[in-house]
Amino acid sequence: MKPTETYDVFVLGAGPAGYTAAILAAKKGLRVGIAEGSRLGGTCTNTGCIPAKTYIESVNLLARIKGASKFAIETGNPKLDFVKLKARKDRIVTRLSKGIEYLLKQHGVEVFGANASIQEPGSIKAGDVLMRARNTIIATGASPKMLPLPGLQDSWTSNEIFGVTTLPRSLAIIGGGVIGMEMAHIFSSLDVKVTVIEALDRILPLEDRHVSDTVARLFRKVEIFTSARVTHTEGHEQRKIFIDTPAGTKTVDAEKILLSIGRQPVLPAGGGEIGLALTPSGGIGVDEYMHSSVPGVYAVGDVTGNHMYAYVASREASIAVDHITGGSKKMSYRNIPSIIFTDPEVASVGDVKAENRTSEKLNGRFPLSALGRARTMEAHEGYAHVVSDSGGVIERISIVAPHATELISWAALAVDQGLNVTEFLDSYCPHPVLAEILKEAAEEILGISVHHVS
Ligand SMILES: Cc1cc2nc3c(=O)[nH]c(=O)nc-3n(C[C@H](O)[C@H](O)[C@H](O)COP(=O)(O)OP(=O)(O)OC[C@H]3O[C@@H](n4cnc5c(N)ncnc54)[C@H](O)[C@@H]3O)c2cc1C
């Protein structure tokens, strides 16, 4: 078979990494093709960020309506229709996926609705079509890791859970990371009995320990086991999950199991044969320009196995396209904010090691309960925590509060620009807003917070 066409750039996978790379390359006037074996938008649009946040938005609204009497509003007995919630998610996902299709077409990107494989460097096959590519960008993402233990083969993962139309009575979530805890929030809010089983000694292990402890305490309806390893399960309709804990073997009963123990890079067929160097986590190894060990082949997004966020994936895509078009911008993984859509939300930015206080570090913390705007929202649980070095340069900010996932952008700017506390406080913060929690926490470092009660 002879190659039919030659592309300046051919992209494998149309998630946030792939479609961003394709559109940016097309904007530079290059001839671009992209292959997607499933639905445009990838994990983020179809089974990740967007479905999760759609469900969370609905359960949060339900909770607000249930708590309406605190706002002097009488309501009946609100109920969430789970089948309609799934339909709402399907509508949103389809619209966003079609939006990506429109953007790709509008930029003249040629879309192949098929899985692609790499025949040799510069030679790609998408479905039955063979083509040449001056540059190849692999953006094939990642898939949920499985646990090779007896009885877990038919567990749900994030790939299946958003297709479910009947709620289980009980759900055991194996893995208390970001995805696991967001799922715990969703399903416990829907009155499913949720148990989280985490192998490490705390949930959300990438956050500050005080954040992990606070979130664990606030998940009142969820039973959480930490330092707990699943050994095996018994039963089908009703599972008995055996876990090793520091207090000995325990069992958890659950109708369904959700595995959320991390994600594994997905390499395209042929990727191994062309000699791509891999990282210890099985991702494609790249340099600071997102270039792999094979000339002309780049890898971006979750397939690198690094920092699996949509917003990191699209940044990596822009770096790869810049390099392809003669630029020399380097990828930076400094100060990537993390966001978790629990209730309250959690967000943080900066060096997590700054939490390990030494005498020359400074801390400021301000509780949500002392903030006027939070009081108007009947929100009492949470805080902001700011850490600076001895010179006052802000090193880390963590927030547990409503809309923390929005507030973190201001914090990220401060940390990324290396502002010190005084510079941070120089800019006005309006009143009454939730963002004042950052201002007050920073003021605590200087000992000038007016509203803090010791
Ligand atoms: C439940 C959940 C919630 C999440 N929430 C967030 C969040 O709130 N914020 C955030 O930033 N991130 C979130 N993420 C992570 C985010 O979804 C990923 O980081 C992001 O999708 C990575 O983008 P990507 O383009 O690298 O890979 P993907 O989005 O996985 O896209 C890869 C695409 O490649 C396709 N593909 C694979 N092999 C081939 C092949 N051989 N040929 C052609 N196509 C192929 C796949 O079908 C897929 O569409 C979440 C993930 C999950 C699972």
Mean pLDDT of the chain: 96
Q: What is the Å distance from ligand 1's center to 450 Cα?
A: 45
Structure token digits, residue 359: 């005498």
pLDDT one-digit tens code per residue, 392-414: 999 999 999 999 999 999 999 99
Nearest CA to ligand 1 atom 27: 141
Nearest CA to ligand 1 atom 45: 13
Nearest atom in ligand 1 to the alpha carbon of residue 141 is 27
Please check the confidence at residue 357 and state whether its pLDDT lies above 60. no
Note the CATH number of domain 5-144+264-324. 3.50.50.60
Nearest CA to ligand 1 atom 30: 141
Average pLDDT over residues 152-180: 97
Nearest CA to ligand 1 atom 48: 42
Please check the confidence at residue 55 and state whether its pLDDT lies above 70. yes
**Angular region, 133: left φ>0, alpha ψ -120 to 50, beta rest:** beta
What is the SS3 assignment for 143? Answer: strand
Q: What is the Å distance from ligand 1's center to 300 Cα?
A: 11
pLDDT at 352: 87
Beta bridge partners of 143: 264
Average pLDDT over residues 69-97: 97
pLDDT tier for residue 356 given thresholds of 50, 70 and 90: low
Q: What is the Å distance from ligand 1's center to 141 Cα?
A: 5
Considering the chain, what percentage of its residues have pLDDT values greater than 90?
93
Q: What is the Å distance from ligand 1's center to 310 Cα?
A: 7
**Among 39, 140, 145, 206, which residue has the most ligand 1 atoms within 8 Å of its CB, making it the best to mutate?**
140
What is the SS3 assignment for 366? Answer: strand
CATH 3.40.50.2300 is right for the domain spanning 158-259: no
pLDDT one-digit tens code per residue, 2-44: 777 999 999 999 999 999 999 999 999 999 999 999 999 999 9
**C-alpha to C-alpha distance for 97 and 93, rounded to whole angstroms:** 6
Q: What are the CB-based long-range contacts (under 8 Å, 24+) for 218-224?
A: 218/342, 218/343, 218/344, 218/381, 219/181, 219/184, 219/185, 219/188, 219/342, 221/188, 221/194, 222/184, 222/188, 222/194, 222/195, 222/196, 223/194, 223/195, 223/196, 223/252, 224/176, 224/195, 224/196, 224/198
- Pocket flag, ligand 1, residue 338 (CB < 6 Å): no
- Pocket flag, ligand 1, residue 270 (CB < 6 Å): no
- Pocket flag, ligand 1, residue 282 (CB < 6 Å): no
pLDDT at 399: 98
Please check the confidence at residue 236 and state whether its pLDDT lies above 90. no
Nearest CA to ligand 1 atom 7: 49
Please check the confidence at residue 358 and state whether its pLDDT lies above 70. no
**The CATH number of domain 338-446, selected from 3.40.50.720, 2.60.40.790, 3.10.20.30, 3.30.390.30:** 3.30.390.30
pLDDT at 221: 95
pLDDT tier for residue 361 given thresholds of 50, 70 and 90: confident
- Pocket flag, ligand 1, residue 177 (CB < 6 Å): no
Question: Residue ranges of the domains in the chain?
Answer: 5-144+264-324, 158-259, 338-446
Query: Are the beta carbons of 133 and 293 closer than 8 angstroms?
Result: no
Determine how many CB atoms are found less than 10 A away from the CB of residue 404: 25
Average pLDDT over residues 239-266: 97
Query: Are the beta carbons of 407 and 347 closer than 8 angstroms?
Result: yes
- Pocket flag, ligand 1, residue 302 (CB < 6 Å): yes
- Same CATH topology for 5-144+264-324 and 158-259? yes
Average pLDDT over residues 363-372: 96
Considering the chain, what percentage of its residues have pLDDT values greater than 70?
98
Nearest atom in ligand 1 to the alpha carbon of residue 143 is 30
Q: Helices marked H in 107-232 — which ranges?
A: 158-161, 178-189, 209-218
- Pocket flag, ligand 1, residue 35 (CB < 6 Å): yes
pLDDT at 153: 85
Place of tokens 């289980």: 168
Determine how many CB atoms are found less than 10 A away from the CB of residue 431: 11
Average pLDDT over residues 54-60: 98
**Among 34, 49, 259, 345, which residue has the most ligand 1 atoms within 8 Å of its CB, making it the best to mutate?**
49
- Pocket flag, ligand 1, residue 17 (CB < 6 Å): yes
What is the SS3 assignment for 435? Answer: coil
- Pocket flag, ligand 1, residue 42 (CB < 6 Å): yes
pLDDT one-digit tens code per residue, 296-347: 999 999 999 999 999 999 999 999 999 999 999 999 999 999 999 999 999 9
Residues with active-site annotation:
431
- Pocket flag, ligand 1, residue 168 (CB < 6 Å): no
Nearest atom in ligand 1 to the alpha carbon of residue 269 is 41
- Pocket flag, ligand 1, residue 186 (CB < 6 Å): no
Q: What is the Å distance from ligand 1's center to 34 Cα?
A: 15
pLDDT at 36: 98
